């Protein structure tokens, strides 16, 4: 199965690979007009069996492959990681017609895409997402970035992978946490765009958890199509695309508040789940929609607050930091942070948060 889409008259693809090894990737790369040099960036935590086969297959295509192993995870989403890639591209004399293929979660994808866009002002970029967050969300839409000065994605641009490979083989091997933590981004698409996604998550939990590929590829496809619907005419996030930030004003504030601690104690997708609850609560308290979302998160054993984190002993400091970080929201245009209001299931709109007391109440009553 292939999803074809266009951005500014340029064609892009998402290829679902349901065979055991990597022939679809092999086929796509064999046809590509390039200088036959490929930098393969691989997340260290990926299953070694998969990476061994991928490396072999790529060589079989007649490509000269340079391997760069990197550590994903948010603590490494920084300039050191970015320049490690760029230094390798320079050292091995890659050209604009060389390929960078990244294989990893959202962090590896975001940093690799940024490096591809910067090196010689842009080289060929392909991606194999390997966490559920990356598969249903970050692999698509072209957002690249690194965190700098403790501001999430403070440096970044837009650069799209020409082809994204969703691999059955990868999905089967994803550890449970990296699998489940992508579910909130799927729920988000259900809430803001396509209620069918919510129905599928409610009625076919076992298929989802058992990684039934027929079921999952349908779920992934619907989520990706939702994302395409929001960004294809608004790549630079002027209006419509902002809706995809549902849950993210609070999620990013929570993630940034773990500065200096192990910020990886909460996955991005897990923070988005809590963030969506906050953003519903801010407007309507513990309403029907709030409870529906909470039940769905509970159903998939996803966190709906931070009470499960034993390391939180300085709660008051953390609350203060989250409140402060809300005002670093990148969507703000005046002094007020912006937030996505879920009007109904399938309908959302952009709003401002003007009530600081309500923000504090939301932090107290939802996050802790």
Ligand X SMILES: NC(=O)c1ccc[n+]([C@@H]2O[C@H](COP(=O)([O-])OP(=O)(O)OC[C@H]3O[C@@H](n4cnc5c(N)ncnc54)[C@H](O)[C@@H]3O)[C@@H](O)[C@H]2O)c1
Q: Which residues bind ligand X (CB under 6 A)?
A: 43, 45-46, 72-74, 77, 104-108, 110, 130-131, 133-134, 137-138, 141, 143, 170, 173-175, 178, 181, 267-269
Task: Select 160 or 294, whichever has its Cβ closest to ligand X.
Answer: 160
Strands 10-17 and 2-7: antiparallel
Task: Select 32 or 265, whichever has its Cβ closest to ligand X.
Answer: 265
Task: Select 24 or 43, whichever has its Cβ closest to ligand X.
Answer: 43
Task: Please report how close the Cβ of residue 174 comes to ligand X at its closest, in angstroms.
Answer: 5
Task: Please report how close the Cβ of residue 242 comes to ligand X at its closest, in angstroms.
Answer: 13
CB 303 within 8 A of CB 315: no
Sign (positive/negative) of CA torsion 332, 265, 181, 129?
Answer: positive
Rg over alpha carbons for the chain, rounded to the nearest Å, is 20
Task: Please report how close the Cβ of residue 43 comes to ligand X at its closest, in angstroms.
Answer: 5
Residue 80 has a CB neighbour count (10 Å cut-off) of 10
Task: Please report how close the Cβ of residue 102 comes to ligand X at its closest, in angstroms.
Answer: 10
Contacts of residue 221, defined as CB under 8 A and 6 or more positions apart, other chains included, come to: 1, 3, 16
Task: Select 76 or 305, whichever has its Cβ closest to ligand X.
Answer: 76
The neighbouring-strand residues paired with 350 are 340
Structure tokens at 5: 């889409």
Task: Select 65 or 107, whichever has its Cβ closest to ligand X.
Answer: 107
Task: Please report how close the Cβ of residue 290 comes to ligand X at its closest, in angstroms.
Answer: 23
Task: Select 106 or 337, whichever has its Cβ closest to ligand X.
Answer: 106
Listed residue (118, 130, 59, 62) closest to 85, CA to CA: 118
Tokens 């997402």 locate to: 129
Task: Please report how close the Cβ of residue 357 comes to ligand X at its closest, in angstroms.
Answer: 29
Helical (H) or strand (E) element with 132: helix 132-133
Task: Select 35 or 172, whichever has its Cβ closest to ligand X.
Answer: 172
Q: Report the largest interatomic distance among the alpha carbons of the chain, rounded to a whole angstrom.
A: 62
Structure tokens at 234: 């608004």
CB 34 within 8 A of CB 65: no
Structure tokens at 29: 């790369």
Cα of first residue to Cα of last residue in the chain, in angstroms, is 43
How distant is the alpha carbon of residue 293 from its chain centre? 20
Task: Select 51 or 365, whichever has its Cβ closest to ligand X.
Answer: 51
Task: Please report how close the Cβ of residue 360 comes to ligand X at its closest, in angstroms.
Answer: 25
Task: Select 37 or 58, whichever has its Cβ closest to ligand X.
Answer: 58
How many CA atoms lie within 13 Å of 29's alpha carbon, on the beta-carbon side? 33
Q: What are phi and psi of 130, to 5 degrees?
A: -125, 5
Please identify the residue of the shown chain whose CB is closest to the bound ligand X.
106
Task: Please report how close the Cβ of residue 248 comes to ligand X at its closest, in angstroms.
Answer: 9
Quote the CA–CA distance of 85 and 115 in Å, as a whole number: 7
CB 237 within 8 A of CB 213: no
Task: Please report how close the Cβ of residue 332 comes to ligand X at its closest, in angstroms.
Answer: 18
């Amino acid at each position: 199965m292939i999803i074809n889409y266009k951005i500014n008259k340029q064609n892009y693809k998402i290829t679902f690979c349901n065979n055991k090894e990597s022939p679809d990737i092999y086929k796509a790369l064999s046809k590509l007009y390039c200088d036959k040099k490929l930098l393969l960036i691989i997340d260290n935590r990926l299953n070694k069996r998969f990476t061994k086969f991928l490396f072999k297959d790529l060589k079989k295509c007649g490509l000269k492959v340079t391997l760069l192993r990197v550590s994903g995870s948010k603590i490494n989403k920084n300039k050191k990681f970015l320049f490690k890639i760029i230094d390798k591209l320079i050292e091995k004399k890659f050209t604009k017609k060389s390929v960078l293929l990244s294989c990893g979660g959202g962090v590896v994808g975001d940093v690799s895409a940024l490096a591809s866009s910067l090196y010689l002002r842009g080289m060929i970029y392909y991606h194999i997402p390997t966490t559920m967050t990356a598969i249903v969300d970050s692999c698509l839409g072209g957002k690249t970035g690194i965190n700098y000065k403790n501001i999430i994605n403070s440096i970044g641009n837009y650069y799209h992978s020409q082809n994204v490979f969703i691999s059955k083989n990868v999905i089967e091997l994803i550890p449970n946490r990296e699998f489940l933590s992508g579910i909130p981004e799927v729920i988000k698409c259900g809430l803001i765009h396509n209620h069918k996604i919510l129905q599928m998550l409610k009625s076919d939990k076992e298929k989802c958890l058992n990684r039934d590929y027929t079921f999952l590829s349908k779920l992934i496809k619907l989520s990706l199509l939702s994302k395409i619907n929001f960004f294809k005419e608004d790549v630079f996030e002027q209006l419509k695309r902002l809706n995809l930030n549902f849950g993210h004003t609070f999620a990013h504030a929570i993630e940034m508040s773990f500065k200096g601690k192990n910020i990886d104690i909460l996955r991005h997708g897990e923070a988005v789940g809590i963030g969506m609850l906050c953003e519903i609560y801010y407007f309507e308290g513990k309403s029907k929609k709030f409870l529906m979302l909470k039940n769905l998160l509970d159903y998939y054993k996803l966190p709906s607050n931070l009470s499960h984190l034993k390391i939180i002993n300085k709660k008051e400091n953390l609350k203060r930091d989250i409140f402060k970080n809300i005002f670093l929201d990148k969507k703000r245009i005046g002094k007020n942070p912006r937030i996505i209001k879920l009007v109904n299931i399938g309908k959302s709109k952009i709003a401002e948060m003007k009530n600081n007391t309500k923000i504090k109440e939301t932090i107290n009553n939802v996050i802790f």
